[in-house]
């Protein structure tokens, strides 16, 4: 009996551990997916009259505007990102080593802050129109025509110069891994640079371009601050407007479902574009080799340098120069106490979100590591879906169920104990932390999954051979080795939460401001110059994950 018990007990323990981890992971996945289920229930609660009214008034214009915006961003980000990646990967020209990392800097600028800076830069009193009037001798706006940045083309321009780095990173990483030998083979057959790009590199880069464009478009769909400030009525803006301005939460949920369909179509198209990518990688995985860049001289070198300088100057230089100038102008007045309170609240909520998200992501990734069940991959996919969903939709799906739960608890306490609990969840900021965790779970899971994949499977077998349980193996073996990945994941979630605007506007507790909403509030009242310091704080914080991305994805060592 003792032999049987000693043989069966570890096996039973492992089975129970697997069941416990799997149930815990499904619980996390269901909590992440809960806003989508709630959204469907809210949308179904609306009547046909509301839906027909939206279909006749809001949806046609918003849908067309959204599609035109996404089409313009896809064309501009795809072309800018691919061309810049091609130039810095295969050519040598003045400033090339600087552009290799500087082209990623616009990612540090949130889209809404970029919109505020572009409007100030291109407005009538801004430096561009002022110089234009001085050169041509114009005295008033009636003497000349100048394109309005607050328009649909202006929104395409602003968002594209912030989002093109997604395409640049994806394409350049692909070129670095697979481009060298193909370039040498094409050149040995007499192909010139133009033919090499159009016949070899462009077909090779199509999956990477599609991936970068898809991420950029999902970020554009998530935006609410930039499109509102630029006067562009997208579907996301319509969700915000119908919910808060018209007090029609069912109608907002119905628009949100339409927006979700559009997002899933984008994801499906990206997967379709990458359907043969695994085959390409398997065939060319041995193609990585050092490549001698072609030196450019004269006008070609100047043209390449200008092509790389323009996105950096507009995407990062304009916001830094405009908002940095405002920050310096008001530096003598000291820091606004309201800004300090907003900064403290931002740090608090972002830190809570980072801690919660990393803990849950560790649970997911560790389960994938030690479990042999195929369902664990599905769990991770469900739990990572939040990054593809705009913050506005997440807020809509979270707020109503938790608000009703708060009211139910308060009513029960009033009836039983004659005591009011107030809004325990929605009034404490827990909904905001929950929304951040849903939105950025994929960021933390991706970082930790990469950390786990760097650890040899032999560690698992060695720990088991020494009699370690899974819990001991996690805390004594994996956790110390995963400290860099955990720190990276926490940092990325912290910074993303600090910059998040869409969900924060809707879910922040009454009377609480973050740095993002502080900037948004001043900009909406036409006082963007007073938000310079807060904007610079957000941009500087955003540079940190850009540095992390540069070191992890674009290293040439």
The CATH number covering residue 205 comes to: 1.10.3720.10
The HSE-up count of residue 487 (CA atoms within 13 Å, CB side) is: 7
Question: What is the C-alpha to C-alpha distance for residues 487 and 476, in angstroms, rounded to an integer?
Answer: 18
For residues 313 and 364, membership in a common domain is answered with: no
For residues 253 and 197, membership in a common domain is answered with: yes
For residues 102 and 87, membership in a common domain is answered with: yes
Q: What is the pLDDT of residues 401-415, one digit of tens each?
A: 888 888 888 888 888
Average pLDDT over residues 484-491: 89
Question: What are the helix (H) ranges across 230-297?
Answer: 235-240, 249-273, 277-284
- Cα–Cα distances (Å) from 176 to 186, 291, 428, in that order, read 16, 9, 48
Q: What is the pLDDT of residues 333-377, one digit of tens each?
A: 777 899 999 999 999 999 999 999 999 999 999 988 887 677 777
Q: What is the pLDDT of residues 94-147, one digit of tens each?
A: 999 899 989 999 999 999 999 999 999 998 888 999 898 988 888 888 888 889
Question: What pLDDT was estimated at residue 180?
Answer: 58
For residues 24 and 163, membership in a common domain is answered with: no
For residues 280 and 159, membership in a common domain is answered with: yes
For residues 399 and 273, membership in a common domain is answered with: no
Q: Which of 355, 388, 382 is nearest to 368 (CA)?
A: 382
Q: What is the pLDDT of residues 45-57, one digit of tens each?
A: 877 777 787 888 8
- Cα–Cα distances (Å) from 189 to 193, 202, 540, 544, in that order, read 12, 18, 48, 44
pTM: 0.86
Question: What pLDDT was estimated at residue 5?
Answer: 45
DSSP notation for 530-557? GGHHHHHHHHHHHHHHHHHHHHHHS---
Look-up of token digits 């999954």: 449
Q: Which of 445, 350, 439 is nearest to 390 (CA)?
A: 439
**Residue 513's Cα: distance from chain center in Å?**
22
Asked if residue 162 is part of any domain, the answer here is: yes
- Cα–Cα distances (Å) from 32 to 218, 361, 368, 387, 392, in that order, read 18, 12, 17, 10, 15
Asked if residue 144 is part of any domain, the answer here is: no
Asked if residue 443 is part of any domain, the answer here is: yes
Can you give the residue range of the structural domain that contains 427?
Answer: 8-41+342-509
Cβ contacts of residue 152 below 8 Å, gap of 6+?
Answer: 65, 68, 69, 72, 232
Asked if residue 19 is part of any domain, the answer here is: yes
Q: What is the pLDDT of residues 229-245, one digit of tens each?
A: 999 999 999 998 888 77
């Amino acid at each position: 009996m003792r032999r049987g018990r000693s043989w069966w007990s570890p096996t039973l323990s492992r089975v129970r551990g697997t069941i416990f981890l799997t149930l815990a992971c499904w619980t996390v996945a269901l909590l992440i997916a809960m806003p989508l289920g709630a959204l469907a229930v809210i949308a179904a609660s609306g009547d046909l009259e509301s839906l027909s009214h939206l279909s006749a008034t809001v949806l046609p214009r918003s849908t067309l505007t959204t599609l035109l915006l996404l089409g313009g961003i896809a064309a501009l980000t795809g072309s800018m990102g691919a061309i810049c990646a091609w130039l810095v990967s295969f050519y040598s020209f003045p400033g090339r080593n600087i552009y290799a990392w500087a082209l990623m800097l616009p990612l540090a600028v949130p889209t809404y802050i970029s919109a505020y800076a572009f409007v100030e830069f291109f407005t009538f009193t801004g430096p561009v129109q002022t110089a234009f009037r001085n050169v041509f001798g114009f005295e008033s706006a009636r003497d000349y025509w100048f394109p309005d940045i607050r328009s649909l083309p202006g929104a395409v321009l602003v968002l594209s110069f912030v989002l093109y780095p997604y395409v640049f990173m994806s394409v350049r990483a692909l070129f670095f891994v697979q481009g060298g030998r193909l370039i040498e083979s094409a050149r040995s057959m007499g192909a010139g640079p133009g033919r090499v790009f159009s016949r070899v590199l462009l077909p090779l880069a199509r999956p990477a371009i599609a991936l970068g464009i898809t991420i950029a478009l999902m970020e554009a769909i998530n935006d609410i601050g930039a499109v509102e400030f630029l006067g562009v009525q997208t579907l996301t803006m319509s969700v915000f407007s119908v919910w808060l301005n018209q007090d029609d939460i069912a109608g907002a949920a119905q628009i949100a479902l339409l927006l979700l369909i559009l997002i899933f179509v984008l994801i499906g198209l990206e997967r379709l574009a990458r359907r043969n990518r695994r085959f390409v990688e398997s065939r060319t995985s041995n193609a990585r080799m050092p490549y001698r860049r072609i030196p450019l001289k004269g006008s070609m070198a100047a043209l390449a340098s200008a092509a790389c300088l323009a996105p950096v100057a507009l995407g990062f230089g304009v916001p830094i120069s405009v908002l940095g100038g405002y920050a310096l102008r008001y530096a003598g007045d000291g820091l606004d106490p309201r800004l300090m309170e907003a900064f403290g609240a931002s740090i608090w909520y972002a830190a809570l979100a980072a801690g919660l998200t990393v803990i849950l992501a560790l649970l997911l990734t560790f389960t994938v590591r030690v479990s042999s069940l195929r369902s664990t991959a599905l769990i991770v996919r469900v739990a990572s879906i939040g990054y593809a969903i705009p913050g506005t939709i997440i807020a809509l799906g979270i707020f109503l169920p938790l608000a009703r739960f708060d009211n139910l608890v308060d009513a029960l306490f009033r009836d039983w104990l004659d005591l009011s609990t107030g809004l325990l969840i929605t009034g404490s900021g827990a909904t905001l932390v929950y929304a951040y965790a849903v939105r950025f779970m994929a960021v933390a899971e991706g970082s930790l999954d990469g950390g786990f994949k760097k650890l040899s499977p032999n560690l698992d077998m060695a720990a088991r051979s020494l009699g370690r349980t899974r819990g001991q193996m996690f805390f004594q073996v994996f956790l110390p080795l995963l400290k860099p990945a955990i720190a990276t994941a926490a940092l990325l979630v912290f910074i993303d939460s600090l910059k998040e605007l869409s969900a924060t506007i809707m879910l922040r507790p009454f009377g609480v401001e973050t740095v993002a909403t502080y900037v948004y509030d001043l900009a909406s009242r036409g006082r963007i110059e007073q938000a310079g310091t807060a904007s610079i704080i957000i941009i500087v914080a955003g540079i940190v994950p850009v540095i992390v991305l540069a070191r992890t994805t674009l290293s040439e060592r």
